[in-house]
């Protein structure tokens, strides 16, 4: 199982909609595993691509509603409106401190329900 982060210059990409790269980390060890190129295009295309990977969590930056809905449709767990160095974000996730305001994009920490989870079959 993996934690995925959409990245840009080693940091969480500012916008999921246009993010081109994905880094996968082993969920248990937190070790960087590999880089994948995300497909462009329709929200559903991106969501379908991500659905093919065994992800415990997708960490991304801002996400617009069509893309968020697409992730929800495939029941992909994600934490959106996040920022920071990708390695550090994954470390924070493993230490259970990803909810700290420092990991949220400006103006987004005050909003709740950032993390969505699979209705079935997912345990953090």
Partner 1 sequence: MPLSHTWALAVLDSITEGVLAVDQQWRITYFNRAAERITGLQGSEVVGQPCWEVLRSNLCDNSCPLAATLKQGQEVKQRIAYIVTAEGRQKPICLSTALVQDEKGHILGGVELFRHLEPPSSQAPSAYQTVQMGEMVSCTPRMQQLFQLLPRVAESESAVLLQGESGTGKELVARALHQYSRRRQGPFVAVNCGAIPDNLLEAEFFGYKAGAFTDARRNKPGRFAQAHGGTLFLDEIGDISPALQLRLLRVLQEQQYEPLGATQTEQADVRIIAATHRDLAAEVAQGGFREDLYYRLNVVRLQLPPLRERPEDIPLLTERLLLRLQRRTGRRVEGVLPETLKILKQYSWPGNIRELENALEHAMVLCDGQWLAPEHLPSGLQPHGSPVAAPQDQTLAQVEKAHILKVLAEQQGNRSRAARVLGIHKTTLLRKLKAFQL
Question: Residue 54 or residue 66: which is nearer to partner 1 going by CB?
Answer: 66
50 conformational bin, left if phi > 0, alpha if psi -120 to 50, beta if neither: alpha
Q: How far is CA 37 from the centre of its chain?
A: 14
40-99 residues near partner 1, rule: CB under 8 A:
41-45, 47-48, 61-66, 68-70, 73, 80-81, 83
Our finding on whether 102 is near partner 1 (CB under 8 A) is no
Task: Evaluate whether 99 touches 80 at the Cβ level (below 8 Å).
Answer: no
DSSP helix/strand/coil, 94: helix
Positions in the binding site for partner 1 (CB under 8 A)? 8, 13-15, 17-20, 41-45, 47-48, 61-66, 68-70, 73, 80-81, 83, 105-108, 110-111, 119
């Amino acid at each position: 199982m993996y934690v995925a982060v959409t990245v840009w210059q080693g940091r969480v990409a500012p916008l999921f909609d246009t993010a081109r790269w994905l880094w996968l980390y082993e969920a248990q060890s937190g070790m960087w595993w590999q880089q994948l190129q995300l497909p462009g295009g329709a929200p559903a295309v991106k969501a379908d691509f991500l659905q093919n990977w065994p992800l415990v969590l997708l960490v991304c930056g801002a996400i617009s509603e069509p893309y968020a809905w697409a992730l929800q449709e495939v029941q992909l767990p994600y934490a959106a409106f996040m920022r920071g160095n990708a390695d550090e974000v994954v470390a924070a996730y493993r230490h259970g401190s990803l909810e700290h305001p420092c990991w949220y994009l400006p103006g987004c920490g005050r909003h709740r329900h950032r993390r969505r989870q699979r209705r079935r079959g997912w345990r953090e």
